[in-house]
Structure 1
């Protein structure tokens, strides 16, 4: 339970930082941020493995770089589900996913 709550807090902080660093990412309120964090976590658990499975050939051909596109798809999907949040453009979703991965890595190395 402690690990799950740490995951939620780190992802919420990371999403907030990404929204502050990128003008194309908008999170309207704290409620939207928490909802976005929970939806993004659920999508990472249930939908992302399916997308990864069906895109194995493309990921193999791009030497793993297609995983950034997959992360962008999941992030864009999460933003489209949660009201009060917006991310403009698919390229911005990919860049936000890369930035989110970097920030999450830093936080997990500090807190874990």
Structure 2
């Protein structure tokens, strides 16, 4: 998937998350630029910080059969909120928000693939 399409899908997923779940919101007056910046920050944190967190939490992740990944995803969302115009009500809200964000992103990715907008040829 192209960078621009992935950025727009991430931004739309974050926006939809704020509309579906009240525990995560954008600061009042946030515009499209703020949403796009939050999506870029989410991509950078997912690419650089999340793998390190997953590696450090590997023993706990094995003991919980992977459920601790939800906590790591919540930490990632909390870090994104600290570095962008995103507000998270607390750590529990970050974990629930990360779970909902994963479902929304999965659905949007499936829609982009079904529409053929991902640039893949058959």
- What TM-score do you get using the length of structure 1 for normalisation? 0.93
Residue equivalent to 1:14: 13
CA apart distance, 1:8: 0.6
- How many residues get paired? 110
Structure 2 alignment gaps of length 5 or more: 114-122
Check conservation: 2:8, 2:36, Cα contact below 8 A. no
Aligned mates of 1:97, 1:11 — CA distance in 2? 13
Structure 1 alignment gaps of length 5 or more: none
The answer to whether the aligner puts 1:102 opposite 2:103 as a matched pair is: yes
Residue equivalent to 2:74: 72
The one-character-per-residue Cα deviations of 1:44-80 (angstroms, maximum 9, x if unpaired) are 0001000000100011011111111101101100111
Aligned mates of 1:79, 1:54 — CA distance in 2? 22
- What TM-score do you get using the length of structure 2 for normalisation? 0.86
Check conservation: 2:25, 2:88, Cα contact below 8 A. yes
**Aligned to 1:104, what secondary structure does the other structure show?**
helix
The answer to whether the aligner puts 1:111 opposite 2:112 as a matched pair is: yes
Aligned mates of 2:60, 2:100 — CA distance in 1? 22
When Rg is computed on C-alpha atoms for both structures, the one with the higher figure is 2
Residue equivalent to 1:38: 40
CA RMSD of aligned residues (A): 1.1
